[in-house]
Chain A
Amino acid sequence: MLKAVILIGGPQKGTRFRPLSFEVPKPLFPVAGVPMLQHHIEACAKVPNMKEILLIGFYQPNEELTRFLLNAQQEFKISIRYLQEYAALGTGGGIYHFRDQIVSGSPEAFFVLNADVCSAFPLTEMLSFQKEHGEPNSFVILGTTSNRKQSMNYGCIVENEETNEVLHYVEKPSTFVSDIINCGIYLFNPDIFQHIGAIFQKNQQDMLLEEPTNGWHRAEAIRLEQDIFTALAGQGKLFVYKTLGFWSQIKSAGSAIYASRLYLNQYHISHPERLASNEEGGPKISGNVYVHPTAQIDPTATLGPNVSIGTGVTIGAGVRVRESIILHGATLQDHCCVLNSIVGWDSTIGKWARVEGTPSDPNPNDPYAKIDSETLFREGKLTPSITILGCNVTIPSEVIILNSIVLPHKDLNRSFKNQIIL
């Protein structure tokens, strides 16, 4: 039997996702209409023999997470449990801490998925790959091809081209090493804990030799990438399965719109029922659009491509929405225009207002380009990015909000461009 672990991080992480992560834990932020995590869970639940999904992170148990888990268990008919770390233990430390939970029931293998990625999750393919190349206890990293420049923002993998064995692994190198990058999705077996355990022992010994520090450094804080993969490379234990399927990180809010586009596109195969279509008496739909059944959309509105409309959203006459995520309870009044933006929960946009951002999409002419992990400022200036309205923001009629981030609970009274509005 198999298990899956999803690393969901904690509230101290995901700051690049502000102001949206103020309201909801980042893994629950809706991408293509459903919580980010649901895409992972669905992919795991589809794998034959999958018995349990464990979420590991350091969020305090909260209502939203609990409700999500309950719903997901019912929907996917699989056991899903949240295991809370006592502190941020890193990608390796978390699974090591909960190794008993993972190995209980003796799974022959288990997946580890980072929550902040968007992917076609070729998990079954990873399993077959692992069986095919004949190393029974080997580990598999999902890899994808990047362009040379962007590869240095990721974990870089050098492989033996014939055997796909990982010969060298380096996290975010400062010079080019390889254009194969780590997707943050792994297939392990319980042997991995010996390797993590060895690092744990070494850390403990190192700490005994060191001066007592402030206590932030723990022997148990272990990073899979730097501490484990780097050591395993070239040992005949670690292999890379390269996927041609879609993949992206979801670090910033801007990448959520891009990730939505990738998932909406996948819905044609996986969930055609989630894609809105042009119907008599309904709004004009252009391209891939998700509309929650409880949303009220005026038939003269035009939506898409790449639009996700949440629960209870109201969209007035002659409204235009493109490349955007509209979160639950938001109201878009008549004739307003929303482009490349995320509109926060319960926000209101006035008549003829224009809320517009600048897309941060990967270069469409480069098949290996990835989304840039944006920096908010470049040379002291706010880089043009998507516009984000936090929750319960009010935009008056007829103004323009361009390339701006509006923190929650603000009533704006004029136009803003290229600003963060506290």
Chain B
Amino acid sequence: MKALILVGGYGTRLRPLTLSVPKPLVEFCNKPILMHQVEALVKAGVTHVILAVSYMSELLEREMRVQEERLGIRISLSHEKEPLGTAGPLALARELLNVDNEPFFVLNSDVICDFPFKDLLQFHHNHGKEGTIVVTRVEEPSKYGVVVFETDSGRIHRFVEKPQVFVSNKINAGMYIFNPSMLSRIQLRPTSIEKEIFPVMAQEGHLYAMELQGFWMDIGQPKDFLTGMCMYLQSVRQHAPERLRTGPGFLGNVLVDPTAQIGENCTIGPNVTIGAGVVVEDGVRIKRCTVLKGARVRSHSWLESCIVGWSSSVGQWVRMENVTVLGEDVIVNDELYLNGANVLPHKSINESVPEPRIIM
């Protein structure tokens, strides 16, 4: 089986992290975002993953060679020279997708959930039509485009963009499965799959919806990245609690890479991810944060709702909060206060940032 992942462009929404590392390789809960998806696809029997990218990154290519080897699959990069929207990349990869008569998966690269690819395949086979999209329930449907479908069969009637009166609370979760015949609907030009292709398929009775169980989050920006982390860790708590760190000094769901060092008298958690080689010195308090590979948090600091970039260093008695994001190799000097700071890579911070802003 095959899958196409819509990786897209520079991942500007996840800057400053994506200034150093292509978005698919940014670690989410100690694993590159893309590998969450690829590994779930492999489990469902996918052997060829096509990444639709709009820029080329040597780092990404090299890493994909490694992953091909590791997972025993093929990973191709399909490079669009001009932006092709969400449907165009399917046309561009037509020859890779249309080699046999098997259905293929398509997914947005920013989505995190308990990927239901096996169920999706089963569901798709059962209704026998051209396409199935995964939908997820949201609290405020008026902010999204919602999907109206038959509860029992899943057959989609229509899509309503930002409904002002309640018609549905299910939205497109950015994961699909299609028969290759569907590719004839798409031409090689910028096209929106959601706006131009799906409505037609639905009208013809060829599009079905499968409801996602459990959590779902678009982690394309730092605030949602952290929310998604909380959801993911809770899911780990339910399905594989042994992966979480417990014991004195750890509260709630905390994921710690085995190579990380945690000092004495720290309180870590709830909802914290600590990456490989990270050093957390004594007396540190961390909650609702991701600390990426190689970073150091010096003693007595206090961190909440932050992403600490690779190899960054947070000084002693620093307070960071409110979705402060440090890019790669940022140094925060002792005793500073960072409130919602977005710090670009390789900066040394010598002054507090009391109100949210970008530090160039």
A interface residues, Cβ below 8 angstroms from B: 300, 317-320, 322, 334-335, 337, 339, 351-352, 354, 356, 398, 400, 402, 417
Asked whether B354 lies within 8 Å of A337 as measured between CB atoms, the reply is no
Asked whether A354 lies within 8 Å of B300 as measured between CB atoms, the reply is no
Verify if B283 is at the interface (C-beta below 8 Å from A).
Answer: yes
- Most central of A318, A335, A398, A417 by chain B CB within 10 Å: A335
A317 contacts across to B, CB distance below 8 A:
265, 283
CA distance A352 to B302 in the complex (A): 7
Asked whether A398 lies within 8 Å of B302 as measured between CB atoms, the reply is yes
* Chain B interface, >50% SS class: loop
Asked whether B319 lies within 8 Å of A400 as measured between CB atoms, the reply is yes
* A314 to B: closest C-beta gap in Å: 17
A402 contacts across to B, CB distance below 8 A:
337, 354
CA distance A296 to B128 in the complex (A): 77
Asked whether B300 lies within 8 Å of A335 as measured between CB atoms, the reply is yes
CA distance A400 to B301 in the complex (A): 13
By beta carbon, the residue of chain A nearest B266 is A335
CA distance A351 to B354 in the complex (A): 21
* A353 to B: closest C-beta gap in Å: 9
CA distance A337 to B321 in the complex (A): 15
CA distance A352 to B337 in the complex (A): 13
Count B-side interface residues using an 8 Å CB cutoff: 15
* A414 to B: closest C-beta gap in Å: 13
Verify if B218 is at the interface (C-beta below 8 Å from A).
Answer: no
Asked whether A318 lies within 8 Å of B319 as measured between CB atoms, the reply is no
Contact of B300 among A322, A337, A339, A417 (CB under 8 A): A337
Tell me which residues from 305 to 325 in chain B have a Cβ below 8 Å from any Cβ of chain A: 316-317, 319, 321
Contact of A400 among B285, B300, B337 (CB under 8 A): B337
B319 contacts across to A, CB distance below 8 A:
337, 354, 400
7 tightest Cβ-Cβ pairs between the two chains A and B: A318-B283, A337-B317, A318-B300, A320-B317, A335-B300, A352-B302, A352-B285
B285 contacts across to A, CB distance below 8 A:
335, 351-352, 398
Asked whether A337 lies within 8 Å of B283 as measured between CB atoms, the reply is no
Verify if B194 is at the interface (C-beta below 8 Å from A).
Answer: no
* A323 to B: closest C-beta gap in Å: 11
CA distance A320 to B298 in the complex (A): 13
Asked whether B283 lies within 8 Å of A334 as measured between CB atoms, the reply is yes
Asked whether A354 lies within 8 Å of B302 as measured between CB atoms, the reply is yes
13 further A-B contacts with Cβ under 8 Å, apart from A318-B265, A400-B319, A402-B354, are: A318-B299, A320-B316, A322-B335, A334-B265, A334-B283, A335-B302, A335-B317, A337-B335, A352-B285, A352-B300, A352-B302, A400-B321, A402-B337
CA distance A400 to B354 in the complex (A): 11
13 A–B pairs (Cβ distance < 8 Å), ordered by A: A317-B265, A319-B300, A334-B265, A335-B265, A335-B283, A335-B300, A335-B302, A337-B300, A337-B317, A352-B285, A352-B302, A354-B319, A356-B337
Tell me which residues from 273 to 332 in chain B have a Cβ below 8 Å from any Cβ of chain A: 282-283, 285, 299-300, 302, 304, 316-317, 319, 321
B337 contacts across to A, CB distance below 8 A:
354, 356, 400, 402
A318 contacts across to B, CB distance below 8 A:
265, 282-283, 299-300
- Most central of A300, A318, A334, A339 by chain B CB within 10 Å: A318
Contact of B335 among A320, A334, A351 (CB under 8 A): A320
Tell me which residues from 235 to 273 in chain B have a Cβ below 8 Å from any Cβ of chain A: 265
CA distance A351 to B300 in the complex (A): 10
* B270 to A: closest C-beta gap in Å: 13
Tell me which residues from 336 to 360 in chain B have a Cβ below 8 Å from any Cβ of chain A: 337, 354
B335 contacts across to A, CB distance below 8 A:
320, 322, 337, 339
CA distance A411 to B300 in the complex (A): 24
B317 contacts across to A, CB distance below 8 A:
320, 335, 337, 354
CA distance A335 to B319 in the complex (A): 11
B299 contacts across to A, CB distance below 8 A:
318
CA distance A398 to B337 in the complex (A): 13
By beta carbon, the residue of chain A nearest B287 is A398
CA distance A317 to B265 in the complex (A): 10
CA distance A320 to B316 in the complex (A): 9
B302 contacts across to A, CB distance below 8 A:
335, 352, 354, 398
A334 contacts across to B, CB distance below 8 A:
265, 283
CA distance A356 to B302 in the complex (A): 14
CA distance A335 to B286 in the complex (A): 13
CA distance A338 to B76 in the complex (A): 55
- Most central of B265, B316, B354 by chain A CB within 10 Å: B354
By beta carbon, the residue of chain A nearest B334 is A320
- Most central of B304, B316, B317, B337 by chain A CB within 10 Å: B317
CA distance A417 to B283 in the complex (A): 25
B300 contacts across to A, CB distance below 8 A:
318-320, 335, 337, 352
B282 contacts across to A, CB distance below 8 A:
318
By beta carbon, the residue of chain B nearest A356 is B337
* B248 to A: closest C-beta gap in Å: 15
By beta carbon, the residue of chain A nearest B303 is A352
CA distance A334 to B317 in the complex (A): 11
A417 contacts across to B, CB distance below 8 A:
354
CA distance A402 to B352 in the complex (A): 12
B304 contacts across to A, CB distance below 8 A:
398
- Most central of A317, A322, A337, A354 by chain B CB within 10 Å: A337
CA distance A239 to B228 in the complex (A): 75
